[in-house]
Amino acid sequence: MIRKEKKGGFIESGTLSVKYQFSIGKKISDTKLSKSKYSSLLQIQSLDPVKIMTDQGKNRTWWMYQDGFYIENEGMSGDDVKGFAMGKTGKKKK
């Protein structure tokens, strides 16, 4: 199943070197992105879905695509996430 995640976002941490981590409620990703990697992520996700966090214990994966967050538990590909997102916004693939 896949659905839009409404509570996700990135938080900033660090004082000398700012890092970015994906956060959903009290759960925070282990991955800390530098400012340049975060900027790259924002550019890439505008065109293609990017996997941003996985919870293997609960078999969940979070994706970011066109400034939206999605959660799924079926091992979907980026193309699957893109198709779902496009369908939800009323856009159709040709």
19-61 pLDDT, tens digit per residue, is: 999 999 889 999 999 999 999 999 999 999 999 999 988 999 9
Angle at 34 between CA 30 and CA 37, to 5 degrees: 100
Does a structural domain hold residue 13? yes
Q: Which domain holds residue 57?
A: 2-88
Does a structural domain hold residue 94? no
What pLDDT shows up at residue 88? 63
Does a structural domain hold residue 55? yes
* Range of 14-18, 54-58, 70-74 with top mean pLDDT: 70-74
Q: Tally the domains of the chain.
A: 1
Q: Measured between alpha carbons, how far is 43 from 47 in angstroms, rounded to an integer?
A: 7
Does a structural domain hold residue 40? yes
What pLDDT shows up at residue 90? 44
Q: Measured between alpha carbons, how far is 58 from 10 in angstroms, rounded to an integer?
A: 21
13-20 mean pLDDT: 90
Does a structural domain hold residue 66? yes
Convert the pLDDT of each residue in 74-83 to its tens digit: 999 999 999 9
pLDDT at 93 over 50: no
Name the pTM for this structure. 0.86
Does a structural domain hold residue 83? yes
